[in-house]
């Protein structure tokens, strides 16, 4: 086994990119992502990493460079946060529609206005419909492992992957983790090959105006229209859940870590109330679960959702069939509606016979502190709620920690 | 390489006329070359060919008398704009319809 080191979450991400032998890095600095790209540029300049670092003038260009690199058959990486992610939004849709296996770390941060450099999940949530696979890490070991697995997934399913981890809570804190051995990473992650790789010998037109109907190309080969291409992206995103599980098994054989790549349940087997959360907050909840079980005799568990897009409807719904209450805690929402994750979970449960009472909690927006005590108290109160309460009351998002 | 279970359908094709469909149907005005002013036609030499170079749809031939493939020419007018001899006029397509007013 390799030895554990103590480093920041951002360095864990950068180490994964180096181990993955990414060949083009194009990024624009934004807090709290900056140290990822600083580390990568430092290694490239020092000759420790064989890659081209393209210093771009915006996130839109960063994704544009990655699209160009991936189209030429080159493994590309970028990282961003918050408004930077939104600035590349148009290019995100493009990368997905073009089926380019780009990997990007998103160090989650609140969206302005007003300006906030602190953590929440609104950046990633707002980009959930771009056609990118979105995974969420909850500690440093997961950041490095998940980023490596993301390259493998992206290149097997030809869909870009966004690896999310919490700004500051994970990006700037130091934790012990084991970097995977380079030789084993090479065995795990073969060189990237793209069947449409642009070379002067084989020029192709990529993603030009594509008509509503399928058509015959200049060689008489039938080419799908826009709707066919987009249908397949949707279908193949769904199938990516299975591939993510297979990759996790391969990874486990080589590195001895893994096992719950889609959902990571903690004390959920006999739980009457199940908390659902993404990112570092899911780990914070383990303490709350232990206390509720020990001090209050409440059968509570926490389910960390690791893969948000594609949304694992079946996996989630089946995992929640025996729960009486499901409490969804999230750091983002669909304004004017409810928590985005909450809405997804509600939709996933609808076709199933057992529909537990759902509770939606909005926490930690713009870095508002999330004291473990407040999570404990809200959980305790929610567990004691009468199941006869009109659903409209529990269905509305409840904001925790407001200072109005 | 992608997993064989994944088709990875994209919009990729060999470049050529008609890559974006029968774009000739988009046209409102068509380029008409006046061969008495066109440099290669007038000199009988492979010179100029600016229209061939600039055409975004590869529909102008690189010949002494350049020909335009109207099946795919979408009438953008770049050739007319770029022609250094002002030999290309953009003429409304409606004028070429059967029964169009000859005036």
pLDDT digits (tens, 9 = 90+) for A218-230: 788 888 899 999 9
Pair A316, A263: CB distance under 8 Å: yes
Closest-CA distance, A208 to chain B, in angstroms, reads 7
Q: Tell me what pLDDT residue A222 has.
A: 85
Provide, as residue numbers in chain B, all residues whose Cβ is less than 8 Å from the Cβ of A75. Answer: none
Contacts of A1 (CB under 8 A, 6+ apart): A178, A256
Listed as ranges, residues in chain A with pLDDT below 50 are none
pLDDT of the residue at B17: 67
Inter-chain contact B2–A195, Cβ cutoff 8 Å?
A: yes
| Contact check, Cβ <8 Å, B12/A206 | yes
From the number of C-beta atoms within 10 Å of its C-beta (0-12, 13-18, 19+), residue A24 rates as: buried
Phi, psi values for residue A290, rounded to 5°: -60, -45
Token pair listed for A245: 């599980």
Chain B segment 7-46 residues within 8 A of A by beta carbon are: 7-21
Q: Within a 13 Å sphere around the CA of A309, how many CA atoms are in the beta-carbon half?
A: 21
Per-residue pLDDT tens for B36-53?
999 999 999 999 999 999
Looking at residue B20, its pLDDT comes to: 67
- Determine the 3-state secondary structure of A280 from DSSP: helix
**Contact B4/A at CB under 8 A:** no
Cross-chain residue pair B12–A211, CB shorter than 8 Å: no
Which among A155, A204, A236 has the least Cβ separation from residue B13? A204
Number of inter-chain CB pairs under 8 A, A vs B:
83
CB contact under 8 A, A236 and B7: yes
In angstroms, the separation between the Cα of residue A248 and the nearest Cα of chain B is 15
Rounded Cα gap, residues B18 and B60, in angstroms: 13
Output the pLDDT for position B102.
Answer: 55
pTM: 0.90
Higher pLDDT, A327 or B103: A327
Nearest to B3 among A156, A204, A219 (CB): A156
Percent of chain B having pLDDT more than 90? Answer: 71
Asked if residues A308 and A263 have their Cβ atoms less than 8 Å apart, the reply is no
pLDDT, one tens digit per residue, over A175-216 is 999 999 999 999 999 999 887 788 888 888 889 888 888 888
Q: Looking at the partner chain, which of A98, A193, A243 has a beta carbon nearest the beta carbon of B1?
A: A193
Q: Is the pLDDT of residue B103 over 60?
A: no
Phi, psi of A108 (to 5 degrees): -60, 130
Q: Assess contact for A9 and A143: CB atoms under 8 A.
A: yes
């Amino acid at each position: 086994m390799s030895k554990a080191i103590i480093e920041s979450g951002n360095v864990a991400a950068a180490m994964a990119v180096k181990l993955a032998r990414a060949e083009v890095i194009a990024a624009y600095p934004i807090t709290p992502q900056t140290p990822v790209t600083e580390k990568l540029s430092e290694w490239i300049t020092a000759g420790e990493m064989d890659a081209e670092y393209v210093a771009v003038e915006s996130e839109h260009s960063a994704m544009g460079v990655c699209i160009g690199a991936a189209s030429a058959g080159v493994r590309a990486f970028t990282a961003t946060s918050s408004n930077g992610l939104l600035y590349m939004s148009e290019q995100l849709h493009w990368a997905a529609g073009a089926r380019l296996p780009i990997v990007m770390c998103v160090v989650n941060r609140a969206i302005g206005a007003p300006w906030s450099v602190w953590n929440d999940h609104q950046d990633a949530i707002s980009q959930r419909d771009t056609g990118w696979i979105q995974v969420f890490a909850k500690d440093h070991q997961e950041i490095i492992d998940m980023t490596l697995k993301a390259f493998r997934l992206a290149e097997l399913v030809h869909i870009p992957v966004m690896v999310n981890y919490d700004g500051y809570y994970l990006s700037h804190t130091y934790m012990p983790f084991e970097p995977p051995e380079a030789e084993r990473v090479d065995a795990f992650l073969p060189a990237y090959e793209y069947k449409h790789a642009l070379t002067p010998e084989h020029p192709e037109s990529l993603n030009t105006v594509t008509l509503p109907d399928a058509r015959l190309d200049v060689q008489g080969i039938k080419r799908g229209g826009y709707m066919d291409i987009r249908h397949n992206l949707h279908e193949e995103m769904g199938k990516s859940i299975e591939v993510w599980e297979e990759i996790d098994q391969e990874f486990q054989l080589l590195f001895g870590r893994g096992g719950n790549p889609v959902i990571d349940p903690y004390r959920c087997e006999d739980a009457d109330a199940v908390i659902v959360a993404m990112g570092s907050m899911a780990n914070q909840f383990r303490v709350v679960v232990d206390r509720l079980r020990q001090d209050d005799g409440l059968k509570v568990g926490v389910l960390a959702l690791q893969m948000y897009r594609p949304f694992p409807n079946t996996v989630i719904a089946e995992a929640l069939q025996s729960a009486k209450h499901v409490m969804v805690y999230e750091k983002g929402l669909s304004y004017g509606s409810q928590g985005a994750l909450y809405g997804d979970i509600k939709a996933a449960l609808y076709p199933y016979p057992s529909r537990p009472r759902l509770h939606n909690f909005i926490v930690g927006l713009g870095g508002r502190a999330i004291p473990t005590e407040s999570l404990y108290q809200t959980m305790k109160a929610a567990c004691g709620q009468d199941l006869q309460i009109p659903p409209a009351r529990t269905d509305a998002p409840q904001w925790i920690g407001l200072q109005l | 390489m992608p997993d064989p279970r994944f088709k990875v359908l994209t919009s990729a094709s060999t470049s050529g006329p008609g890559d974006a469909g029968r774009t000739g149907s988009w046209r409102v005005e068509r380029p008409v070359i006046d061969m008495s002013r066109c440099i290669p036609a007038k000199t009988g030499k492979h010179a100029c060919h600016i229209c061939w170079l600039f055409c975004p749809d590869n529909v102008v031939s690189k010949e002494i008398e350049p020909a335009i493939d109207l099946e795919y020419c979408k009438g953008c007018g770049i050739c007319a704009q770029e022609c250094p001899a002002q030999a290309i006029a953009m003429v409304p397509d409606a004028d070429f319809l059967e029964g169009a007013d000859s005036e």
